[in-house]
Chain A
Amino acid sequence: MKLSRRLVLRGAGAALALPLLESLGTRSAHARTAEAPFAIFFRQACGVASQQTTSEIGPEPERFWPRGTGPLTARSLEGRALDELAGHAGRLLVVKGVNMYDFDYGDGHARGALQGLTARGPVVRGAGGNAEADGESIDHRIGRELNPGGRDSLFLYAGPDGGWLGGACISYRGPGQRRAALRRPRQAYELLTGGDTGGTEEQQALIARRQKSVNDLVRAQLQSLLARTDLSQHDRQRLDLHFSAIRDLERSMLRLSKDEERRLGDAARYVESTDGDDVMSLVRLHMDVAVLAIASGHTRSVAIQVGNGNDGSTRYRDPDTGKHMENYHYVSHRRRSHDASGDIIAGADLQHHKVDRYFARMFEHLISRLAAYPSVSGGSLLDRGVSVWYNDHGDGPAHGTSNCPFILAGSAGGFFKQNRCVRLASGGATHARMLNTIGSAVGLRNARGEHLDDFGDPSLPRGVLDELLATSSS
């Protein structure tokens, strides 16, 4: 395919003139990837405004979960944060009863954030803010096993560089091996597109030629280093990772429109902002790039993290007053303090609900974007994969491990039930099984070629949650 051929993904809501994915060609690994199931993980911290009793507020009503289980209806969603997704109810699977394990992380945020995609305990017990997860995260495993050439999955981040748990903290290559996140959507976009957004075919060919000359040399030097027989395992892994990252110019046939490319560039001003409006704008741009990365076959997995370990700096605007609320972590604690000191925030439970709605709207943006994209096999990109809005905790002040929200959109090609709210029948720690189920939906398999049952801490129940499968009658 010629480099100059551009296919433009227009913004959701605009008149769509979207390319069918077969236009990528059927022979390339990218094209095959572009037709395969995928997973996009969208992380929220600090629990949700579910029914609970807190010492600060007292009894707090249910404002998040649908009423009952079964089909999602206007009535079941009414007044709950999830009613923001009512327009996509037919593509949703709302899972109640996902319980993380009470690993001894020494801190509730570490336990939720680091376990969230790894289903693992800490490398060192009780390390609190200095904790690291003791295993690979599911987003990385999907990329490692299913992406073309084992390419890294995308890890996108909207939050401060540092702070509690060191900022970006949900994606791991392996035990204690935290991944770097991309904070600027433009960085991720250029990974897909080759960086150059203009120029003639001839100019682009020149760029490709230059890069190939340099890459050949860098590869040769890395190979020479790798040929040593006295390398340690870690050093070999380090060089292997570098070697696999040296890629000749690959230019996605799919591009954002010029206006959208401009907005990606402008997003730099959001990156350091703690204003909730800016953070949400940044997240939506990350989502736009994520969808493009999926559609173009660049990756089959994306993780999007909002806020650092405790999302302790983002200040969302109260839609009713127009004023900024306290930072989200304060709101989730119902107090003006990261450390559980400080005055009680009157109406913090309702404020938490408003933040939940903001997250729902961001997720809705992702869903709409995917739904606007037609898939060769029929339906939309949304149907082909699964998008997962999940939370580190089940509730606000307690930051508990039980009933952590997992809101799934898309059936992953018919793997998941749709238009359902399901309460998991099995009690105990079900979270590892949730991740094994998502991994299976995307195509990961165990050593026997069966559904995934080897992801997460071996002491936890693993394997697929049958009640979530479309083939299940329960």
Chain B
Amino acid sequence: MAESRTGPPLRCPRRGLARARVTVSLLALVVCGCIIREPKSASQSRPASARPSISTRFARLTHAQWTNSVRDLLGVSVADLQSGLRNDPRPAGFAFDNLAASSSVDDALARDYQRAAAVAAERATAAPAQLERVFPEPNGAGDAAGEAFIRSMGGRAHRRQLDSDEVEQYLAVWRAGASAYPELPERTARVRLVLEAMLQSPHFIYRVIHGQVGADGNIELDAAELAARLAFALWNTMPNDDLLRRASLGELDDPSRVREVAARMLGDERARGVLLSFHAQLLERDRLSRIAPSKDSFPDVSEDFAAHAARESDLFLDYQVWERSAGYSDLLRSNETFVNADLAKIYGIDGSFGESFSKVSLDPERRSGLLTQVAFLASHATSRDPDPIHRGVFVARRLLCQNLTAPGNLPPLPPANGRTNRQAVEAHTEVAGSGCAVCHRRTINPLGFPFEGYDAVGRERSTDNGLPVDTQATPTIDAVQKPVRDGVELSALLAESGSAHACYVRQWLEFAYGRPATRADAALIERVGERSRLGQLSIREILIELVSAPEFRVQRAEELL
């Protein structure tokens, strides 16, 4: 799971190149200024003839996808094996854990697959009932039985029918099974060794795109490949037999039918975990694991505070997406949430609460969605004070898809010395004419200061260092400066913002497609984002739109050798 990069705050460009924000195309790279990635207007959309995005033909399964697929293929629990697979590197600049272009199999991972496959195959053949599940053929351990098994199990593992050469290769393994496991019954031994091989096969480890490159340089996924892509995107696991059957019957041949299939898939329990995983990564949930509120400043915060905050966020998202079929605006506007006794104190809710969580309605004048919930506020704070810089950077980067340059060597932020936290930050970062002011004054600080009404654990506050807290700011959103009174009003502004909705769609696209968005995706992002802004699409429907789009099915080959 890709984690956010925590650490020094962003400062303005070192060389003072930009005086104001620069709005450019969706994918332009940083030159120096604060903002560069905003969705273009409709008039700037790519022409219909624009080429699709480049993707690898060999997207390696994430470790979660590998273990989920083993579970579904063999019907045994293997979740414990995931931690035995060596950690993937965290590619920079991609928010999620599934960037296909950076995933590879090196010495260490090949060794880990070997070990994990052996354990999984052993579990799948350990008892007669389990063996029966993976190998229902009753006719002994001969080649004919082996071939039937290989064609059946191999078809599921490879997510397509095996050709005769592949069957022969697996038969060689089948034959070697008896001597490889002489202590086992012949049938068991052969099944076990073949399963080990299938779980290490590149056709299992990668989501292989077999199609030829067309004359236009594009590769279109066939029905089985599309089924696999849908399954890994929406379920985080391999396609089941029903999905592959539907693919073989042509149900994935046109976008409207793909929509129907995707909608059905999103009704599956497995999709819930995918949506939670997406939001946890988008919201930099990993930061919660590293917070340490000061015992001096917050003596009543429990040891489990961070876990409770994460739980609240999950319950909120699950409720919104599944119970209320919410849209993105609802995530930013809802005043409902879930609290236990620990969090009820933070929110100032009277009543009787225990360890378990209950749904509550908060004062809509004071709380509004994810950005005013404890998880975001506490994970973007120091041990004592709220952190308006990182709160602002989060909103700019993750919710508005603005790209910010980071500074080199940071000058230290002086102590508040009788000032408010905001005054200290302003004095340090908004000095007229300084390079810092370029980003901080117009972009970062106005997106962070509205949350100064919440302290380092997310509790409301009206004073700071004995002075009144100032939460008013004038952020620039959708290229317009608009004054807001506090975090609630900023959340409302974001909920109505075309940039924010487009950014949310863009984040979903990157997660579902396993690659960065490109210029070729701009029109799709803009179209779906606008419908989301207008309240025409729920979060689930956003996902359906993305996986039924041509951009999901057609990719451009990387440059050939």
- Is the C-beta of A337 less than 8 angstroms from some C-beta in chain B? yes
Known: A231-B561, A309-B5. Is A242-B107 also a contact (CB below 8 A)?
no
Do B10 and A128 have beta carbons less than 8 Å apart? Answer: yes
Do B109 and A127 have beta carbons less than 8 Å apart? Answer: no
Do A231 and B560 have beta carbons less than 8 Å apart? Answer: yes
- Is the C-beta of B534 less than 8 angstroms from some C-beta in chain A? no
Do A213 and B193 have beta carbons less than 8 Å apart? Answer: yes
- Is the C-beta of A460 less than 8 angstroms from some C-beta in chain B? no
Instruction: State which of A127, A163, A340 has its C-beta within 8 Å of the C-beta of B92.
Output: A127
- Is the C-beta of A234 less than 8 angstroms from some C-beta in chain B? yes
Do A107 and B87 have beta carbons less than 8 Å apart? Answer: no
Do B200 and A218 have beta carbons less than 8 Å apart? Answer: yes
Do B557 and A230 have beta carbons less than 8 Å apart? Answer: yes
Complex Cα–Cα for A398 and B173 (A): 60
Question: In the complex, given contacts A180-B87, A246-B110, what are 13 additional A-B residue pairs having Cβ atoms less than 8 angstroms apart?
Answer: A126-B14, A161-B3, A164-B8, A168-B87, A210-B176, A213-B172, A213-B176, A218-B197, A218-B202, A224-B165, A242-B105, A245-B105, A310-B7
Complex Cα–Cα for A164 and B165 (A): 48
Do B560 and A178 have beta carbons less than 8 Å apart? Answer: no
Closest 7 CB pairs of A and B: A128-B406, A162-B3, A232-B558, A166-B90, A129-B5, A164-B7, A341-B413
Complex Cα–Cα for A312 and B5 (A): 11
Instruction: State which of A129, A235, A309 has its C-beta within 8 Å of the C-beta of B56.
Output: A235
Do B4 and A162 have beta carbons less than 8 Å apart? Answer: yes
Do B412 and A335 have beta carbons less than 8 Å apart? Answer: yes
Do B7 and A109 have beta carbons less than 8 Å apart? Answer: yes
- Contacting B at CB under 8 A, from A206-246, are 206, 209-211, 213-214, 216-218, 220-222, 224-225, 230-236, 238-239, 241-242, 244-246
Do A179 and B58 have beta carbons less than 8 Å apart? Answer: no
- Is the C-beta of B13 less than 8 angstroms from some C-beta in chain A? yes
Known: A127-B30, A166-B3, A166-B5. Is A242-B89 also a contact (CB below 8 A)?
no
* Max count, chain A CB within 10 A of own CB: residue among B169, B203, B410: B410
- Interface residues of B toward A: which range? 35 or more
Q: What are 7 contact pairs spanning A and B, CB under 8 A?
A: A106-B407, A111-B408, A124-B29, A132-B91, A180-B104, A187-B112, A247-B110
- Is the C-beta of B509 less than 8 angstroms from some C-beta in chain A? no
Do A220 and B57 have beta carbons less than 8 Å apart? Answer: no
Complex Cα–Cα for A235 and B286 (A): 31
- Contacting B at CB under 8 A, from A336-373, are 336-344
Do B409 and A214 have beta carbons less than 8 Å apart? Answer: no
- Is the C-beta of B383 less than 8 angstroms from some C-beta in chain A? yes
* Minimum C-beta distance from A401 to chain B (A): 10
Complex Cα–Cα for A124 and B558 (A): 20
Chain A 241-267 interface mask (CB, 8 Å, partner B; 1/0):
110111100000000000000000000
- Is the C-beta of A22 less than 8 angstroms from some C-beta in chain B? no
Do B196 and A180 have beta carbons less than 8 Å apart? Answer: no
* Max count, chain B CB within 10 A of own CB: residue among A214, A222, A232, A239: A214
Do A132 and B409 have beta carbons less than 8 Å apart? Answer: no
Do B108 and A131 have beta carbons less than 8 Å apart? Answer: no
- Contacting A at CB under 8 A, from B35-94, are 56-58, 60, 86-93
Instruction: State which of A214, A218, A239, A333 has its C-beta within 8 Å of the C-beta of B58.
Output: A239
- Is the C-beta of B302 less than 8 angstroms from some C-beta in chain A? no
- Is the C-beta of A313 less than 8 angstroms from some C-beta in chain B? yes
Complex Cα–Cα for A230 and B559 (A): 9
Complex Cα–Cα for A180 and B29 (A): 26
Residue in A closest to B211 when the chains form the complex, CB atoms: A230
Residue in B closest to A338 when the chains form the complex, CB atoms: B7
Do B180 and A206 have beta carbons less than 8 Å apart? Answer: yes
Known: A187-B86, A232-B557, A339-B389. Is A164-B5 also a contact (CB below 8 A)?
yes
Residue in A closest to B196 when the chains form the complex, CB atoms: A214
- Is the C-beta of B492 less than 8 angstroms from some C-beta in chain A? no
Chain B 92-125 interface mask (CB, 8 Å, partner A; 1/0):
1100000001101111111110110110000000
* Minimum C-beta distance from A176 to chain B (A): 8
Residue in A closest to B29 when the chains form the complex, CB atoms: A124
Do A230 and B212 have beta carbons less than 8 Å apart? Answer: yes
Do A130 and B93 have beta carbons less than 8 Å apart? Answer: yes
Instruction: Tally the A-B contacts, defined by beta carbons under 8 Å.
Output: 280
Residues in B with CB closer than 8 Å to A145 are: none
* Max count, chain A CB within 10 A of own CB: residue among B179, B290, B408: B408
- Is the C-beta of B518 less than 8 angstroms from some C-beta in chain A? no
- Is the C-beta of B298 less than 8 angstroms from some C-beta in chain A? no
Do A163 and B6 have beta carbons less than 8 Å apart? Answer: yes
Residues in A with CB closer than 8 Å to B173 are: 213-214, 217
Do A220 and B90 have beta carbons less than 8 Å apart? Answer: no
Residues in B with CB closer than 8 Å to A247 are: 107, 110
Do A164 and B6 have beta carbons less than 8 Å apart? Answer: yes
Do A126 and B30 have beta carbons less than 8 Å apart? Answer: yes
Do B110 and A245 have beta carbons less than 8 Å apart? Answer: yes
Residues in B with CB closer than 8 Å to A211 are: 114
Do B559 and A233 have beta carbons less than 8 Å apart? Answer: yes
- Contacting B at CB under 8 A, from A291-333, are 309-310, 312-313, 329, 333
Do B91 and A241 have beta carbons less than 8 Å apart? Answer: no
* Minimum C-beta distance from A40 to chain B (A): 18
- Is the C-beta of A400 less than 8 angstroms from some C-beta in chain B? yes
- Is the C-beta of B390 less than 8 angstroms from some C-beta in chain A? yes
- Is the C-beta of B415 less than 8 angstroms from some C-beta in chain A? yes
Complex Cα–Cα for A92 and B140 (A): 67
A residues whose Cβ falls under 8 Å from a Cβ of B: 55-56, 102, 104-111, 124-132, 151-152, 160-168, 176-183, 187-188, 190-191, 195, 206, 209-211, 213-214, 216-218, 220-222, 224-225, 230-236, 238-239, 241-242, 244-247, 309-310, 312-313, 329, 333-344, 397-400
Do A126 and B197 have beta carbons less than 8 Å apart? Answer: no
Residue in B closest to A343 when the chains form the complex, CB atoms: B415
- Contacting A at CB under 8 A, from B185-244, are 193, 196-197, 200-203, 208, 212-213
Do B104 and A130 have beta carbons less than 8 Å apart? Answer: no
Residues in B with CB closer than 8 Å to A181 are: 87, 89
Residues in A with CB closer than 8 Å to B107 are: 151-152, 191, 244-245, 247
Known: A187-B108, A210-B193. Is A107-B89 also a contact (CB below 8 A)?
no
Do B86 and A182 have beta carbons less than 8 Å apart? Answer: yes
Complex Cα–Cα for A181 and B108 (A): 9
Residues in A with CB closer than 8 Å to B286 are: 162
Complex Cα–Cα for A179 and B90 (A): 9
Complex Cα–Cα for A341 and B415 (A): 7
Do B413 and A127 have beta carbons less than 8 Å apart? Answer: no
- Is the C-beta of B387 less than 8 angstroms from some C-beta in chain A? yes
* Max count, chain B CB within 10 A of own CB: residue among A211, A218, A335: A218
Instruction: State which of A235, A334, A341 has its C-beta within 8 Å of the C-beta of B558.
Output: A235
Known: A235-B57, A340-B412, A342-B382. Is A214-B90 also a contact (CB below 8 A)?
no
Do A342 and B560 have beta carbons less than 8 Å apart? Answer: no
Residues in A with CB closer than 8 Å to B389 are: 339
Residues in A with CB closer than 8 Å to B93 are: 124, 127, 130, 132
Instruction: State which of B114, B382, B405, B557 has its C-beta within 8 Å of the C-beta of A106.
Output: B405
- Is the C-beta of B181 less than 8 angstroms from some C-beta in chain A? yes
Do A106 and B193 have beta carbons less than 8 Å apart? Answer: no
Instruction: State which of A56, A129, A233, A309 has its C-beta within 8 Å of the C-beta of B561.
Output: A233
- Contacting A at CB under 8 A, from B119-139, are none
- Is the C-beta of B535 less than 8 angstroms from some C-beta in chain A? no
Instruction: State which of B13, B92, B166 has its C-beta within 8 Å of the C-beta of A166.
Output: B92
Residues in B with CB closer than 8 Å to A176 are: 91
Known: A126-B32, A221-B169, A230-B560. Is A183-B202 also a contact (CB below 8 A)?
no
Known: A339-B413, A400-B409. Is A168-B89 also a contact (CB below 8 A)?
yes
Residue in A closest to B424 when the chains form the complex, CB atoms: A341
- Is the C-beta of B433 less than 8 angstroms from some C-beta in chain A? no
- Is the C-beta of B466 less than 8 angstroms from some C-beta in chain A? no
Complex Cα–Cα for A127 and B10 (A): 10
Instruction: State which of B92, B181, B290 has its C-beta within 8 Å of the C-beta of A131.
Output: B92
Do B558 and A233 have beta carbons less than 8 Å apart? Answer: yes
- Is the C-beta of B411 less than 8 angstroms from some C-beta in chain A? yes
Residue in A closest to B406 when the chains form the complex, CB atoms: A128
